Amino acid sequence: MFSTPSAMAATRPRYGGTLRVAMRAAPTSLDPAGPQAPDWFGSRNVSLLVFDTLVTVDNSGRPQPALATSWQSEPSNQRWQFSIRRDITFQDGTALTSDAVAASLRAVNPTWKVFSAGDAVIIERDSATVNLPAELALPRNSIVRREGGKISGTGPFTVTQWAPGKKLVLTAREDYWGGRAFVDSIEIEMGKTFRDQMISLGLGKTDVIEVAPEQLHRASAESSRVEHSEPVELMALVFARDRQSADDGRIREALALSLDRASLNNVVLQSGGEPSAALLPNWMTGYAFVFPSNVDLAHARQNLVGVRQTAPWTLGYDATDPSARVVAERIALNAHDAGLALQPTSSAADLRLVRVPLVSLDAHVALAELAKSLGLTPPKYNGNSNSEDDVYAAENGVLQSQRVIPLLHLRSASAVQATVKDWHKARDGSWNLPGIWLGPGMPGTDKP
C-alpha cells in the first residue's frame, strides 16, 4: 500500500514498447490453412497473434469461448451449433458474420457441412464428433477472411510488415474484442537457428527466443530466464511400411525393447523431455506409465531367437536437427546390442526418427492429429464416451500396429529477457504474447 513508485512500476502492467521475438520456423504464408512449417510451434504462435478461433482450450483441456460465445450439440453429437460473438471486426474493418465464419471453416474442412443460421453457425458431421469444440480450437480452424488473395483475421494484432520466411511486424489493435495488447508492436525474426537466437538474446537484441529441448539445461545454467512447457512433442520411430510378417513384428518389438530411452533423454537431450513408450504424455492421459519404457535387452534378444534380419534397416533422420543424428546413432548402437543392424541415414529409410508436436490439449484430438501427422491409421474411439479408457484403448490400438515406437516426449522451451513481464506459457507451449508487457529499461521500449 505504501510501496515506492518504482516498486509500483515493477508490478503494474504498462502499455507500450516493441517486443522482439526470434523463431526457428520460417513460414512463407500466414494463412493457417496453408502448408504447415516444419516447426509447428512457431507457426501456431504466430497464428494466434493474427487470428482467432471459435473456441480455445484451457490448460485442463476444456473448451472455452472465443469467437463463439456458446455452443450446443444434438444428442447424437453429429450436429453442432455455435453462436458467434457480436461487434467484432476483421483487421480490414469488415464485420465478423456467421457467413464469414462458415466460409472460413468450409475452406479448411471441405468434408464438413457448415452453414450459417442467423448469428449462429451450424456444423454437421457424418459421424458423431464428441470433441468438435476442441477440434475447432486447432490453429488451422482459425477464422480467416480471404478475399482477393489477401487474408485478414480478428486477432489482437494486425500485420504491418511481412517478408515471408524472414520478418513479420505486427501492431496491436486498439479495438480488439479481448482488450488491447500491452505492447504496441511485435517484431518477429524468422528462420533463426537456436544458436543465433541464443546469441541474439545474450546481446539484448531479442526479448523472446525459442530454446531447443536439449539446450534447456545449458540455457538455465547460463542464467537465462527459461520457461518450458509440459512435454508436448513426441519423438518416435515410424516405420515406412506396415508390419510384413510375424517375424517382422518380433524384430520391431526387439528394437523397441533395446532402446535406452533414459540415456537418450538424460544425455543426448539433456533431460529436455520424458522417456515414454506411449504416444500421449502422462500429464495428459495419466496412463502413459503403463507402457514399459525401460531397456530390456534379454527380452529383445529372446525375441530374435530364430528370427533373422534379412538386411540392415536404414534409419532416417532430419539432417537439419543437430540432435537427431546423435539420437539416431544411439538407437543404432542400442539395436546393435540386441543383435539388430541399423544404418543411420539422412535420406529415405525403412524407419524414420520424427518429432511431432501435440497440437491440442484435448487427448482425443491430440491422438487423432498425431496419428494423422505420422501417417498412421486413425485411432478408433468407442462410442461417445470421452473417458480416458476410450483414449487408452485407441492409443493401444495404434501402438499394437507396430508402425510407431514412441521414444520421448519433449518440452517446448523459451528464454525471455528479464524486462518481459507476465510471461505465461500454456501447458502446450503456446505463447501468450498479448498478455505480457515490457518493464522499464527494456531496449525495445519506445515510450518512457
Partner 1 sequence: MRFRRKLLAVFALTVFLSVATVAWIVSAMTRRSFEQADEERTAALVAQFRHEFNRHGEEVVRRVETIASSEAATRMALKLSRGAPDYGAYLDEAKALAENQQLDFLEFVDSQGTIISSAQSPATFGYKESFPLAGPVPKDAFLKQEDLPDGAALALSAIRLINVGDRPLFVIGGQRLDKDFLAGLELPAGMRALLYRNPGNQAFSAQLLSDTSGPVTQAEQIAPLIKQIQSQHQEATALVHWSSNPADDETIHAIPLTGQQNQLLGILLVGSSRRAYVELRQHIRSAALLAGGAGMILAILLSGWAAARVTRPVEQLARAAREVADGNWNTQVMIQSSDELGELAESFNRMTHELLEQKERLVQTERVAAWRELARRLAHELKNPLFPLQLTVENLLRARQQSPEQFEETFQESSSTLLAEISNLKTIISRFSEFSRMPQPHLQSADLNELVQNVARLFQAQLHTPGRPPIECKLELAESMQPVAADPELMHRVLSNLVLNAMDAMPEGGILTLRTRQNDEHAFIEVSDTGTGLTPEECERLFTPYYTSKAHGTGLGLAIVQSVVSDHGGRVSVRSEPGSGATFVIELPNGELPDSSQSNKQ
| Shortest Cβ 337–partner 1 spacing (Å) | 9
Taking each helix axis from N to C end, the angle separating 322-338 and 246-258, rounded to the nearest 10 degrees, works out to 110
Q: Which of 26, 33, 307, 326 is close enough to bind partner 1 by CB under 8 A?
A: 326
| Shortest Cβ 334–partner 1 spacing (Å) | 9
Q: Which position has the grid cell 543465433?
A: 196
Residue 211: in which H helix or E strand, if any?
A: strand 208-211
270 lines the binding site for partner 1 (CB under 8 A): yes
Rounded CA gap, 320 and 370, in Å? 22
Rounded CA gap, 123 and 54, in Å? 12
344 forms bridges with which residues in the sheet?
315
Rounded CA gap, 181 and 434, in Å? 5
In the chain the first and final C-alpha atoms are separated, in Å, by 24
Please check whether residue 408 is in contact with residue 40, taking contact to mean a CB–CB distance below 8 angstroms: no
Binding mask 350-389 for partner 1 (x = CB under 8 A): ----------------------------------------
| Shortest Cβ 254–partner 1 spacing (Å) | 19
| Cα dihedral across residues 237, 238, 239, 240: positive or negative | negative
The cell numbers describing 242, all together, are 506396415
Number of H helices, E strands in the chain: 13, 21
Contacts (CB under 8 A) with partner 1, residues 333-352: 333, 343-344
271 lines the binding site for partner 1 (CB under 8 A): yes
Output 324 or 420, the one with its CB closest to partner 1: 324
> Each residue of 168-196: b (16+ CB within 10 Å) or e?
bebbbbeebbeeebbbbbbbbbbbbebee
Contacts (CB under 8 A) with partner 1, residues 238-267: 263, 266-267
Output 218 or 243, the one with its CB closest to partner 1: 218
| Shortest Cβ 349–partner 1 spacing (Å) | 14
Query: DSSP per residue over 397-419, as a string?
Result: HHHHTTSEEEEEEEEEEEEE-TT
Rounded CA gap, 280 and 131, in Å? 17
| Shortest Cβ 342–partner 1 spacing (Å) | 10
327 lines the binding site for partner 1 (CB under 8 A): yes
Output 335 or 442, the one with its CB closest to partner 1: 335
Q: Which of 14, 106, 225, 330 is close enough to bind partner 1 by CB under 8 A?
A: 330
Region of 74-82, 103-111, 192-200, 323-331 interacting with partner 1 (CB under 8 A): 323-331
Output 100 or 327, the one with its CB closest to partner 1: 327
| Shortest Cβ 261–partner 1 spacing (Å) | 14
The cell numbers describing 328, all together, are 539416431
Q: Which of 106, 146, 205, 217 is close enough to bind partner 1 by CB under 8 A?
A: 217
| Shortest Cβ 411–partner 1 spacing (Å) | 15
Output 215 or 419, the one with its CB closest to partner 1: 215
Q: Which of 254, 259, 332, 366 is close enough to bind partner 1 by CB under 8 A?
A: 332
Q: How many CA atoms lie within 13 A of 285 on its CB side?
A: 28
| Shortest Cβ 341–partner 1 spacing (Å) | 12
Output 161 or 346, the one with its CB closest to partner 1: 346
| Interacting residues with partner 1 (CB under 8 A) | 217, 263, 266-268, 270-271, 326-330, 332-333, 343-344
